[in-house]
Structure 1
Amino acid sequence: MDLDRQLLFLVSALGAFNGIILSVYLFLSKKRRSVASFFLGLLLLAFSIRVAKSVFLYFNPGLPKICLQIGLSACFLIGPSLYYFFKAVLLKSTGIPNSWKWSWGIQLGALVLVGMLFPYQTRPDVWNNIIVYVIYLQWPCYLVATGFLLKPVLKTLFVNPSVLSDTEKFWLILFLGNCLIFLAYLLAFFRVVHGIYISGGICFTFMLFLTVFFSLSGAGFENNGKPERKKIAETDASIWLDKLEKVIRDKALYKDPNLKLNDLAQHINISMHQLSQLLNDNLGKSFSTYINEYRIAEACKLITTNERLTFEAIGYEVGYNSKSTFYAAFRKIKDMTPALYKESIGAA
């Protein structure tokens, strides 16, 4: 083996080995223990096994068939691990929902069943002609789904990358690194580019060390439950606030009872974390307070102009799901009940 090949082997094998070590750390560390860290550990473990298989196969084509089966089986877990890592991060999950358990149970059950019925040792034709195509179809589906989860962050990358926090930069490195590794393996599988197969392992090694850096620096998937905050420039804040007021008034978004922070953020092409920071730092309000002010202002207008509507009907009209929620918000904003407000309007 010449020096260049030795270096390729060393770099790729080092990434695979360190990936396994880091995944075990994420599984066992009490400091990092969370739903997100579990899925990140699973992602690194699956990648490490897949890369190790690629490295040893590249330098030793006579690798035992069982190693090939294990490597391809691990590849089947990469897409789901990435997707559920980001779901856990964005939803700040403290437990694994039953729907996630069912999804993983079905996929793992199918993977084990197929491996038992069609072992690579005796049925390489099934693996090479069917299963591998299923894997290379499933993986990009999860990449696309993950891309939709990160849509606000991806938009920020192209619109105003300077406001990205370290946490969001880590997310982008992890996601785009996965896309690059998938592309390398896909091009190698279809023999589009000769010699690109080993580049998947090299890309993983690079992504792994960046993961270690962000993990040790406290950014990425866990930062006391809060992403790192970076002060929003005054010019950006002014532009975003103007966009926010325009879109929420023109489209009457506050009337949607299911409106979420992320939904509103997407309308002005920023991430939910940036919108939350914008509201808190620049307006001194939480998301719920901001929306309630619009709703109660609209409710006051209806109380004044439409005497036929009941208070309950007005509450539903402006975006509340129940009478009690409407009354509580009204009292908090106006320091009186809707009835007292109507009386005060009449007395005036």
Structure 2
Amino acid sequence: MNIGQQILFLVSALGAVNGIVLSLYLFISKKGRSVPAFFLGLLLLAISLRVAKSVFLYFNPALPKICLQAGLSACFLIGPALYHFLKSSLQGVTRVPLTWKWHWGIVVGILLLGGIDVSYQAFPHIWNNIIVYIIYGQWLVYLAISGFLLAPVIFTRTQPLKTNEKFWLLVYGGNLFVFVVYLLALFKVIYGIYICGALAFSFFLYITIFFYLHSAHIENLLHPALPASPDKPEKKKIAATDVQLWTEKLEKVIHDKELYKDPNLKLSDVARAINISAHLLSQLLNENLGKSFSTYINEYRINLACKLIMTNELLTFEAIGYEVGFNSKSTFYTAFKKIKDTTPALFKESILKTNYK
């Protein structure tokens, strides 16, 4: 080969090799766990094998018959893979339906049994004059069905296309262009166009990769387009009469039984004491009283602490903290500062100054 042919071979073959590598990456990576990513990987693998066959055949017409059969057989998978990639993306499919598995079972069964019974090696004239047209016909049918799937995205949208929708159109457009090139080569419409199929695939592959890498930070293009989940029902509010009743019971139980003095007091303990669920008590405190359980209890503790500071000069601040229900000096000081916006010492100092005026 001269330098021009070497460059042509390198460019056309590079797309096929990179397509195979990328397809294997999609299969083994976490992305491959999604249904659209799996079918995109299958699509890339099938069309890459088809392109690789055309590249080697163009530069080596004496290519073994088994390679020719493998390339055309891979072509039989392109259409179904494209269709199921788009369908799973558009419909947000997260698990392969049983009907799809039957669909692929039939396709693969035809491919394997037909390839064994009627091999290219034994029946090249059947492959060149009949089977190849069946394969291209099947590819065309799937392209048409896939086009109908995408039609609403293109023609009925009133808003600009989303990034993942542009990605789907790019994948579909690349497949359509490659199909047209190979179809023109099959019917010998344009001389020398056969290698253009491989070149077109390389071009669209790198454009698609660039688009994906550029857009991946916006949204995950290979994630199923899951249907929007219905709005969560609005949380039921507590009736005003119940709010008043439960608040009164809560204050009475906390005050009369001095539950706040228990350093291990829990929300569930108080809920049992007033005969409501812990969930309802939490809702009552947060939505109706505007405070958390710990803040509500600590207010009782700090109010009692202030009374002890004013009336009992013998107790230290640490002792007062333990007396009102705190289990450490640090938590007492933190809660006092948060609720009174001052420290116990400064609070006592301000009280003494007031008393001596």
- TM-score of the two chains, using structure 1 as the length reference: 0.62
| Alignment partner of 1:39 is 2:36 | no
Contact 2:40–2:81 (CA under 8 A) maintained in structure 1:
yes
Corresponding residue number in structure 1 for 2:136:
136
The equivalent of 2:205 in structure 1 is: 208
Structure 1 residues 74-83 or 6-15, which shifts more? 6-15
> CA–CA distance in 1 between the matches of 2:196 and 2:28?
30
State the 1:14 CA deviation. Answer: 0.3
Aligned partners of 1:102, 1:88: CA distance in 2, in Å? Answer: 16
User: Using the alignment, how far apart are the partners of 2:221 and 2:82 within structure 1?
Assistant: 12
Aligned residue number for residue 12 of structure 1: 12
Cα separation, 1, equivalents of 2:83 and 2:201: 17
SS of 1:163 mapped into structure 2: coil
The one-letter code sitting in structure 1 at the alignment partner of 2:72 is L
Instruction: Measure, in 1, the Cα distance between the counterparts of 2:152 and 2:225.
Output: 17
Q: Which residue does the alignment assign to 2:81?
A: 81
Higher radius of gyration, 1 or 2: 2
Indicate yes or no: 2:153 matched with 1:153: yes
The residue type equivalent to 2:177 in the other structure is: L
Calculate the TM-score normalised by the size of structure 2.
Answer: 0.60
Question: Could you say which residue in structure 1 is the equivalent of 2:50?
Answer: 50
Report if the CA contact (8 A) 1:171-1:220 is conserved.
Answer: no
CA distance in 2, matches of 1:215, 1:100: 27
Is 1:169 equivalent to 2:166 in the alignment? yes
Shift of 1:288: 12
**Ranges of 4+ aligned residues in structure 1 off by more than 3 Å:** 214-217, 285-289
- Structure 1 contact 166–220 (Cα < 8 Å) conserved: no
For 2:131, give the aligned amino acid.
I
Q: Return the alpha-carbon distance in structure 2 between the equivalents of residues 134 and 287 of structure 1.
A: 48
Contact persistence 1:170–1:220 (CA under 8 A): no
1:3 aligns with 2:3: yes
- Indicate conservation of the 8 Å contact 2:24/2:41, yes or no: yes
Counterparts of 2:111 and 2:134 in 1: how far apart (Å)? 11
Equivalent position SS for 2:33 = coil
Output the CA distance in 1 between the equivalents of 2:87 and 2:203.
24
Unaligned runs of 5+ in 1: 228-272, 277-284, 290-348
For the residues of structure 2 that align with 1:29 and 1:95, how far apart are their CA atoms? Answer: 17
2:186 to 179, 189, 203: 189
Q: By how many angstroms is 1:226 displaced?
A: 5.1
User: How many angstroms apart in 2 are the aligned matches of 1:37 and 1:112?
Assistant: 24
Q: Distance in 1 between matches of 2:225 and 2:113?
A: 40
User: Which amino acid counterpart does residue 178 of structure 1 have in structure 2?
Assistant: N
Look up the match of 2:341: none
Give the match's secondary structure for 1:119: coil
- Residue number among 158, 180, 187 corresponding to 2:177 in the alignment: 180
Q: What residue in structure 1 maps to residue 65 of structure 2? A: 65
Distance 1:220 1:144 in 2: 26
For 1:113 and 1:52, how far apart are their aligned partners in 2? 23
Deviation string 1:12-67 (CA, Å, 9 cap, x unpaired) is: 10000000000000000014421110100000000110000000000110100000
- Aligned-partner Cα distance in 2 for 1:51–1:173: 18
**Which residue in the other structure is 1:99 paired with?**
99
Structure 2 segments unaligned to the other structure (5+ residues):
234-357
Cα offset, 1:126, TM superposition: 1.3
Select the residue among 193, 196, 199 that pairs with 1:199: 196
Matched residue SS, 1:198: helix
- In the TM superposition, what whole-angstrom CA distance separates every residue of 1:157-190 from its partner, at most 9, and x where no partner exists? xx87x81222111111111111110000000000
Is it true that 1:25 corresponds to 2:25 in the alignment?
A: yes
Q: How far, CA to CA, are the matches of 1:73 and 1:32 in structure 2?
A: 23
Superposition CA RMSD, Å? 2.4
